[in-house]
Amino acid sequence: MACPEALIDHKLLTNKTFSFPLEEKSWREFAYFSANVCHIFGPKNFKDAFSLFERAIVFSQIQSTHHFQKEQEIELGPRGAGQDPELFVTFHYGKYRMLPLLLITSGRSVAVVISEEVYEKYSRFYSGWMQTDNGGPRLFLERAENPFLGLRIRGHLERGVDIFVYADGNSGSKGSIVPDGLRDQQLLMGSIGIRSGFMELAHLLSIRTRFVLETSASLDAEPYLQVIERFDPKEFRDRSDFVDTSIRRIYARFSEYLKDSPVNWESLFYLHQSRPILSDKNIWSPEHRVMPLYFPNILDRFSYRVHQVDSQTHIGLCKLLLD
């Protein structure tokens, strides 16, 4: 692929070079996306990384406009008489926003924990499901940053409402029942910073947990909720055993799906924001580490550090790495 001369001239990238225009903000987004990809899947050249970026953009745009059909059903079904509500754990993978709605159509009310940043957007998206006239199943939204989140979750559970969380959410409750800091977790070739407070809370409140993913065969197919793993706190020795084993199993099983369909994981766009991803420095060659940004900046994709270079060096790197 030819070196984008528009980038060298510090102007907008045009579709004469790529399949869609990239302004400076979008190019920077690609640079960090490619860094995340290289840490998790192994270093990739510009052409391969950009191809993944294009396909991920298309997938994200199409899945976000998917229209849900209320008559859909899932095999999970409603809880039986006397069964306690459960915790559902997933990732921002596939048509992930459809999963809570699939639970509702199975006869379950569900409380979805999301970050403050997307609360208003999700409120609009789920508005038709957050109010019911017939007392049927409904959807609730809870802010992940709420210092009283643990108490809110306890209240939902007492009313028979299932809890739905994203394992790759980058927000945590400040001052809730369980402290929720970052911990290291291996994911394919990289080590990412994750939150495990949702599993700590599951053990504290003795909530059965299901790890689920949206695994429909294509963007055109109707969403499908697949139960990947089940965890019951009563079947583990103690809190540490439950949390460590369940987290390890969740990420191990997720990696099986991720390596086959990386573009389905939306978090590749922003995974570095909570903590830079780590991987083996020895597998990174110099040409894999450097990604030109708009002049005078370049990104070291291994360390996520931005450096400034002179014009001649910047142009030379563009020609060397993007040609």
Over residues 176-235, the pLDDT tens digits come to: 444 456 899 999 999 999 989 999 999 999 999 999 999 998 888 889 999 999 999 999
For residues 196 and 204, give the distance between their C-alpha atoms in angstroms, rounded to a whole number: 13
- pLDDT for 306: 97
Residue 136 confidence (pLDDT) above 90 = no
Per the prediction, the chain carries an average pLDDT of 85
Tens of pLDDT along 78-118? 555 568 999 999 999 999 999 999 999 888 999 999 999 99
Q: Which band of pLDDT confidence, cut at 50, 70 and 90, is reported for residue 134? A: low
Burial class (CB in 10 A: 0-12, 13-18, 19+), 165: buried
Q: What angle do CA 102, 129, 204 make, to 5 degrees?
A: 65
Contact assessment for residue 113 and residue 144, using Cβ atoms and an 8 Å cutoff: yes
Residue 20 confidence (pLDDT) above 60 = no
Contact assessment for residue 152 and residue 140, using Cβ atoms and an 8 Å cutoff: no
Residue 18 confidence (pLDDT) above 70 = no
Other beta carbons within 10 Å of 123? 12
- pLDDT for 81: 53
**Span of 2-6, 90-94, 176-180, 307-311 with lowest mean pLDDT:** 2-6
- pLDDT for 217: 81
Contact assessment for residue 4 and residue 318, using Cβ atoms and an 8 Å cutoff: yes
Pairwise pLDDT comparison (190 vs 21), residue with the higher score: 190
Residue 268 confidence (pLDDT) above 80 = yes
- pLDDT for 80: 57
The percentage of the chain sitting over the pLDDT mark of 90, rounded to a whole number, equals 62
The residue behind tokens 């080590």 is 191
Report the sign of the C-alpha dihedral through residues 187, 190, 191, 195, in that order: negative
For residues 235 and 256, give the distance between their C-alpha atoms in angstroms, rounded to a whole number: 25
3-state secondary structure labels for all residues of 145-213 = CCCCHHHHHHHHHHCCCEEEEECCCCCCCCCCCCCCCEEEEEECCEEEEEECHHHHHHHHCCCCEEEEE
Inter-CA distances, 114 with 48, 172, 291, Å: 32, 9, 32
For residues 102 and 297, give the distance between their C-alpha atoms in angstroms, rounded to a whole number: 45
- pLDDT for 5: 38
Instruction: Give every CB contact of residue 156 below 8 A, 6+ residues apart in sequence.
Output: 85, 111, 140, 142, 163
3-state class (DSSP) for residue 273? helix
**Span of 64-73, 162-171, 247-256 with lowest mean pLDDT:** 64-73
Q: Per DSSP, what are the bridge partners of residue 308?
A: 297
Residue 175 confidence (pLDDT) above 60 = no
**Span of 26-30, 106-110, 156-160, 292-296 with lowest mean pLDDT:** 292-296
- pLDDT for 218: 85
Tens of pLDDT along 179-190? 456 899 999 999
The mean pLDDT of 36-56, rounded to a whole number, is 94
When mean pLDDT is compared over 66-70, 133-137, 208-212, the highest value belongs to: 208-212
**Span of 20-24, 36-40, 142-146, 287-291 with lowest mean pLDDT:** 20-24
Other beta carbons within 10 Å of 298? 23
Residue 50 confidence (pLDDT) above 60 = yes
Q: What is the DSSP letter of 112?
A: E
Contact assessment for residue 113 and residue 164, using Cβ atoms and an 8 Å cutoff: yes
For residues 164 and 46, give the distance between their C-alpha atoms in angstroms, rounded to a whole number: 37
Q: What is the dihedral of CA 222, 214, 217, 46, to 10 degrees?
A: 130
Pairwise pLDDT comparison (272 vs 315), residue with the higher score: 272
